[in-house]
Amino acid sequence: MRPTVIFLGDGMADDPIPDLDGLTPIQHARTPAMDSIAREGANGTLFTLPEPFPTSSDVANMSVLGCDIKTEFCGRGPLEAAGRNIALGPGDIAFRVNLVTVENGILMDYSGGHLSQDVAEESIDLLNREFGSDTVRFHSGVSYRNLLVLSGPQYSPDVATDKPDDNQGNPVAEHLPRAKTPEAESTVTFLLKLIKEASPLLESSPTNRKLKKAGQAIANGVWPCHAGRAGSLKSLKEKYGIERSAVISAVDVIVGLGRLLGMEVISVPGATGYIDTNYEGKAAAAIEAAENCGLVYIHVEAVDEVSHEQNLELKVKAIEDFDARVVGPVLDALGSAADVAVLPDHPVPLALGKHTRDPIPVAVRLQGKAADSVQTFDEVACREGSLGAMANGDFMELLFGPARA
């Protein structure tokens, strides 16, 4: 099978920004590689975040990869567990747990200052020693992104939680877990106890005491969210006939989704999920994987992270780094021997600092698919492309449907 490479710049899409003379960050950034895909290919938009599902990256990337959200959505927690190779039993419930910074009851940083991996692991060890048991277990993830697995009939996934990255600057007390059913009351009781008692525990850690003394931000709170039980996803081979596929990402939710879709997980040393990630390593891994895989999915988280920080300068830089250090080298190496597509998974407007449900721009260069008149890859130009407004499984059908066989 001719290889297809999907370049996914998490959270790239945005709204017009006055400081950029009404341009979006993608329009303002220098992106010759992505522009070349738009110019040589076909363009359109894709709707990835349907109601009533969360405006989260698990839903968005499931949409991009052609999953049936209505029947296959299982919650982010189980996907992240799969990303860490944590097997969930039928009675297990997985929560994503952010290590966060709280001051005077206000959520100041959903990422705990993008704490280092060793500090995060120290924090998770503390939580396990204090709260862990045969039915409660914390697992380290990547930096602030961690997991809580609850086991047993006393726990329920029917818990309403808010996204931490949507609530920076808001009072934590206004966004606590809530039971959606009577069966979930005991789960909420445990989570509220955890949130209350974790703060003094984390603040007392030796590392946090040193950081605080030095005037640096500390991760002194936990924010559980995105509960779910293991579900069942149709593999890409089963759904689209892709015999071999690969996913390259630094974050557990994308790794886990890929693993559950039957994709080979390629780990890249130095991939961090932030702007210091190993862009070149991801590009090299994708080039190598394209020799044997029908689909290579390169996911870069950095743009999303700085978008949540509402940092315009870093968002433009992250977009340009994605273009110059990932998209460009892969295009140069593969030339016309591969089909390629580029898109974000969802918007993160800098004015809001959180995900929105607006459709995202898509550009594809496919063998045998005529180019349209679009010349640049961005939110405005792609709307005028020949692909129109796509949704549901339209994107993957375009790449791998019967018409491509």
Q: Strand, coil or helix: what is 75?
A: coil
Are 70 and 91 in the same domain? no
Whether residue 240 is found in the same domain as residue 385: yes
Residues 224 and 106 in one domain: yes
Tens of pLDDT, residue by residue over 288-300, are 999 999 999 999 9
Number of structural domains found in the chain: 2
Both 32 and 88 in one domain: the answer is no
Provide the Cα torsion 347, 348, 349, 351; round to 10°: 160
Read off the pTM.
0.89
User: For residue 101, what is the domain's CATH number?
Assistant: 3.30.70
Same domain, 106 and 10: no
Same domain? For 207 and 273 the reply is no
178 and 305, same domain (yes or no):
no
Helix (H) or strand (E) holding 388: strand 388-390
Q: What is the pLDDT along the chain (405 residues), one digit of tens a residue?
A: 699 999 999 999 999 999 999 999 999 999 999 999 999 999 999 999 999 999 999 999 999 999 999 999 988 999 999 999 999 998 899 999 999 999 999 999 999 999 999 999 999 999 999 999 999 999 999 999 999 999 999 999 999 999 999 999 999 999 999 999 999 999 999 999 999 999 999 998 888 888 888 888 899 999 999 999 988 899 999 999 999 999 999 999 999 999 999 999 999 999 999 999 999 999 999 999 999 999 999 999 999 999 999 999 999 999 999 999 999 999 999 999 999 999 999 999 999 999 999 999 999 999 999 999 999 999 999 999 999 999 999 999 999 998 665
We report the CATH number of the domain holding residue 316 as 3.40.720.10
> Can you tell me the distance from the alpha carbon of 109 to that of 100, in angstroms, rounded to the nearest whole number?
6
- pLDDT tens, 80-121? 999 999 999 988 999 999 999 999 999 999 999 999 999 999
Element of type H or E holding 264: strand 264-266
Indicate if 379 and 307 belong to the same structural domain: yes
Shared-domain flag, residues 260 and 189: no
Q: What are phi and psi of 374, to 5 degrees?
A: -70, 135
Which of 180, 204, 228 finishes a domain? 228
Domain edge (last residue) among 199, 228, 257 = 228
**Residue 160 sits in the same domain as residue 70:** no
The two structure tokens encoding residue 46:
């894709």
- 113 and 254 fall within a common domain: no
What is the H or E stretch that residue 37 is in?
A: helix 32-40
Give 92's Cβ-side CA count (13 Å radius). Answer: 21
Of the three residues 205, 228, 251, the one that is the final residue of a domain is: 228
Q: For the sheet containing 388-390, what is the strand order?
A: 264-266, 245-248, 295-300, 4-9, 339-343, 360-365, 42-46, 388-390
Q: List the domain range (segments joined by +) for residue 44.
A: 4-74+234-404
* Helical ranges in 152-311 per DSSP H: 185-203, 206-213, 236-240, 252-260, 279-289, 302-308
Q: What angle do CA 232, 238, 242 make, to 5 degrees?
A: 125
Amino acid code (one letter) for 282: K
